[in-house]
Structure 1
Amino acid sequence: MKHASLKYDVRTNKGLKKALIVYGGAPEHHPKEIADILSGLLREEFFFVQISTTLDSFIMAETQKDVDLIVLIWTRGEISQKQLNALLSLVHSGAGFVGIHASVGAFRSEINYHSLIGGQFLSHPGGVNTTYKVFILDKCHPITRGIQDFTVTTEKYYMLIDPAIHVVAATCFRNVMMPVVWTKYYGKGRVFYNSLGHTLDIVCMPQVLRIMRNGMIWAARKR
């Protein structure tokens, strides 16, 4: 990744957008490694990237009000009302929000968080090694333009979903089409969620990397 090693100073590179990646929760989803991959993609797109392991980062970012994109890689866990309110305020005022894989199952008792992300994880029937097809439903969307249907072998998420989401890609549970990739709006902020990301080999698939890159760019605050 050609720009991954560069250190940008947002004070002297005013044209750069600022991204905050926050990761944590259960280690089986390789949150640190995925954070490193996504930060590399963002740096290639000339973002100034900060990586954090604490949800208090939302509070600090809310006081500064200069973050353009928030990426959450988090499994289960709890979030305080102060942390959650800061996150909601940032996105509502225009910061983009990206949720990866198990982040749709994080903070399960927080209805306002799931209103932000657009859904909640229920189960993954078939375990972690289910082979299924991802259908690109919106082939004209900037996130999936040029990407064809593809097959993965990984967890297959069954979720409760907000009817306000725009489903970009989906899979099939018998007669039910279940979203895999979606977008929505939260106030002035754009929200992008991708359920793929249980293992590093899935994250590193060319189609998934492209969806991740495009989704983060699409969600980032528009200047």
Structure 2
Amino acid sequence: MQKALIVWGGWEGHEPQACARIVEDILIGLGFEVRVEEGVQALGETDLSDLSLLVPIVTMGKMSREMGQTVSKAIASGVGLAGFHGGIGDSFRDCSEFQYIVGGQFVAHPGNVITYDVNITRPDDPVMQGISDFTYTSEQYYLHVDPAIEVLATTTFSGAHDPWTAGTVMPVAWKKRFGAGRVFYSALGHKAAEFDHPQMRRLFTQGAAWAAR
């Protein structure tokens, strides 16, 4: 049986514990043996090499350099990494190695919670099966991204809140490789209730499954 580790903590505004429970249910439904740990200590105390998937949900979290090296080694060896919104997109900012793994970093969400369109750019990709363009209400993440990511979905900024962003096309979801490991990221998921959105939930579920092979 494939093993997954979820670590949760950080900023409470993103409801990390509630999100961890939802992700746990998703992964159990995919057939994983799931371990859930509060805080990042498990990243330094656990042999991560026997995992199929690691899911951090730790907005604004911090990790030591040693933890970063442990995670990097595990992903490079073939452990999958999946995450969403600030859980990995706005976390471990003082660990550049982690940002290198993820492939992007949150920098702004003009207008805060707004309604915007998500456009599927790779409809034939296995991660995107059954998912078509959809409208979404949440924070529209403006990210700094690695040009090597494989973009699966995008959103276009209207400029209604920060006029200089008008027309900017921004990745919403991507996948990438890090050594032998697979990495999946979705910018969606500001609150736990957003997993009730069928397209959002399917996107994360299929992305996590892909990352874990």
- For the criterion TM > 0.5, the same-fold answer is yes
Counterpart for residue 208 of structure 2? 216
1:74 aligned to 2:58?
yes
How far, CA to CA, are the matches of 2:92 and 2:44 in structure 1? Answer: 17
Matches within 5 A, 1:99-110: 99-102=83-86, 103-110=88-95
Deviation of 1:176 after TM superposition, in Å, equals 1.4
> Letter of the aligned partner of 1:210 in structure 2?
R
1:50 aligned to 2:35?
yes
Q: What SS does structure 2 have at the residue aligned with 1:143?
A: helix
Q: What SS does structure 1 have at the residue aligned with 2:19?
A: helix
Deviation of 1:142 after TM superposition, in Å, equals 1.3
How far, CA to CA, are the matches of 1:76 and 1:23 in structure 2? Answer: 11
How far, CA to CA, are the matches of 1:78 and 1:58 in structure 2? Answer: 11
Deviation of 1:61 after TM superposition, in Å, equals 3.1
Count of residue pairs the alignment pairs up: 204
Work out whether residues 65 and 95 of structure 2, in 8 Å CA contact, stay in contact via their aligned partners in 1. no
Seq. identity, %: 38
Across the aligned residues of Structure 1 and Structure 2, the Cα RMSD in angstroms comes to 1.1
Gap runs ≥5 in structure 2: 158-165
Counterpart for residue 17 of structure 2? 32
> Letter of the aligned partner of 1:167 in structure 2?
V
How far, CA to CA, are the matches of 2:41 and 2:149 in structure 1? Answer: 28
> Letter of the aligned partner of 1:206 in structure 2?
P
Work out whether residues 143 and 211 of structure 1, in 8 Å CA contact, stay in contact via their aligned partners in 2. yes
Counterpart for residue 120 of structure 1? 105
How far, CA to CA, are the matches of 1:90 and 1:209 in structure 2? Answer: 26
1:195 aligned to 2:187?
yes
How far, CA to CA, are the matches of 1:92 and 1:56 in structure 2? Answer: 20
Deviation of 1:201 after TM superposition, in Å, equals 2.5
Work out whether residues 61 and 67 of structure 1, in 8 Å CA contact, stay in contact via their aligned partners in 2. no
Deviation of 1:99 after TM superposition, in Å, equals 1.8
Structure with bigger helix share is 2
How far, CA to CA, are the matches of 2:29 and 2:83 in structure 1? Answer: 20
Counterpart for residue 117 of structure 2? 133
TM-score by length of 2: 0.92
Counterpart for residue 161 of structure 2? none
TM-score by length of 1: 0.88
Listed one character per residue, the Cα deviations across residues 116-138 of structure 1 (whole Å, up to 9, x for unaligned) are 100111100011x2110000110
Deviation of 1:51 after TM superposition, in Å, equals 0.3
Deviation of 1:153 after TM superposition, in Å, equals 1.1
Deviation of 1:109 after TM superposition, in Å, equals 2.4
Structure 1 segments (4+ residues) deviating >2 Å: 59-62
